[in-house]
Amino acid sequence: MKPLDRDSPALSIAALHPVYDINDVERALNENVASRNEALKAWYEKMYGLGGERYLIKPTRQDVLDPLYELAPNFKNVIDDLKKYVALALTGDEALQFTPILLLGDPGVGKTHFARELAHCLGTGFEFITMSSLTAGWILSGTSSQWQNAKPGKVASTLVQGDYANPIIVLDEIDKSGGDHRYDPMGALYSLLEEETARRFRDEYIEVDMDTSHMLWISTANDISGMPEPILNRMNVYHVERPDDAASRTIAQSVYRNLLNHHHWPFPEVLEENILVKLLKAPPRDMKKLLLDGLGNARLAGRDHLLPEDIDLARMQGYQRPRIGF
């Protein structure tokens, strides 16, 4: 198993960390239940073949998160706090760990975008789980192998099939999780968000102890009034405001520059003021779509620069609504 290549020179591999004991897997593989359940047997064989160690990523510089100030300027308070954890990780020459984060804000302020960019800056894995679609806790913690169509939960499968012991797990719209109260989608979080119990997390399908204590948890929500207090107490809650005009300008330039960095297109490196003014009329999360469409319009017209008429705001559903972020 090889670590993934990353763009940032500020990252290094800390060490291989055991997330499960290969001897436990071997014992489980030899049990009768595994021999009777071909799907479960295949999972044990996969776990055994991959080995029980995964990479722990650690920062090597204090400024590893600095790009986020430009990519997500309305998350400054979150970034400021995360840099404290980076400083502690550097002091101990260890992997980054932080208290689980809950990003609270209106739809579209960029909560999911921020989490994805954070994972990129840290150089670790990223798993996105839409909590609004969950109807039972087994989505996170697996289903008993005795049930028909049983399978592992997202937590175990992420560790088994991924490269990292400390991926970022995003629980999107955690306030909208629902379903039968007997199968609470958030039930598994009571142990997963506590370091001590997370060290011996057991997926109901795999039934092998796994160390999930290094996983980095970020949740997003629009309203926390109905969330269980014990879950909220396990998190640092940040209210994220929509970006102001200055921040939106920064975001637009960043989105544009990011597009150019990933392609060989003959456009100027900086957006002109008349283009920026038009982009500010749209929600920032639509800026990439608007820019891609506009750049295509420019090339069809044989130009290597944008004109205001290339940016077609009418294509964006709800473009006349108040700006709320991206």
326: in domain = no
Burial class (CB in 10 A: 0-12, 13-18, 19+), 71: buried
Segment 232-249 shows an average pLDDT of: 90
Separation in Å, CA 146 to CA 47, 118, 149, 253, 313: 20, 39, 9, 54, 54
Is residue 195, in this structure, part of any structural domain at all?
yes
Boundary residue ending a domain (239, 269, 302): 239
Asked, for residue 250, whether it belongs to a domain, the answer is yes
- For residues 168 and 218, is the Cβ–Cβ distance under 8 A? yes
- Give the chain's domain count: 2
Q: How far is CA 4 from CA 49, 67, 120, 257, in A?
A: 19, 20, 11, 24
Averaged pLDDT of the chain: 86
* Same domain for 270 and 222: no
Specify if 303 maps to a domain. Answer: yes
CATH number of the domain where residue 121 is located: 3.40.50.300
Same domain assignment for residues 198 and 275: no
In this structure, what CATH number is given to the domain that contains residue 269? Answer: 1.10.8
Instruction: Report the percentage of the chain scoring pLDDT > 70.
Output: 86
What pLDDT shows up at residue 246? 86
- Pair 188, 292 in one domain: no
Which stretches does DSSP call E strand in the chain?
Answer: 11-18, 53-59, 101-104, 126-130, 168-172, 201-202, 209-210, 216-221, 236-239
Which residues, listed in sequence order, are joined to residue 58 by a DSSP beta bridge? 12
Residue that finishes a domain, picked among 212, 239, 266: 239
Is 66 within a domain? yes
Q: Are residues 291 and 157 in the same domain?
A: no
Q: Which of 239, 263, 296 is the last residue of a domain?
A: 239
Q: Look at residue 139 in the predicted model and tell me its pLDDT.
A: 82
At 13, is the secondary structure helix, strand, or coil? strand
Asked whether residue 154 falls in the same domain as residue 111, the answer is: yes
**Structural domain includes residue 146:** yes
Q: Within the chain, how many helices (H) and strands (E) appear?
A: 14, 9
Same-domain status, 69 and 212: yes
Q: Are residues 139 and 81 in the same domain?
A: yes
Q: Are 93 and 189 members of one domain? A: yes
Q: Are 172 and 131 in contact (CB under 8 A)?
A: yes
Considering the domain architecture, whether residues 87 and 223 belong to the same structural domain is answered as yes
Cβ proximity of 188 and 137 under 8 Å: yes
Cα gap 324→326, rounded to integer Å: 7
If asked whether residues 184 and 264 sit together in one domain, one would say no
Structure tokens at 123: 């150089």
pLDDT score, position 323: 40
Q: Could you tell me which residue, 29 or 101, shows the higher pLDDT?
A: 101
What's the pLDDT tens digit per position in 257-299? 889 988 999 999 999 999 999 998 877 678 889 999 999 999 9
Looking at the structure, tell me whether residues 50 and 149 fall in a common domain: yes
Give the pLDDT band of residue 3 (cuts 50, 70, 90).
Answer: very low
pTM comes to 0.80
Residue 195 · residue 189 · CB < 8 Å: no
Place of tokens 């920064």: 250
Please write down the long-range contacts of 88-94, taking CB distance under 8 Å and 24 or more positions apart: 89/58, 89/59, 90/59, 90/60, 90/61, 90/62, 93/58, 94/14, 94/58
Cross-strand bridge partners of residue 12: 58
Rounded to whole angstroms, how far apart are CA atoms 206 and 144? Answer: 8
Give residue 94's domain range.
11-239
Say whether pLDDT at 12 is over 80: no
Structure-model confidence comparison of residues 193 and 134, the more confident one: 193
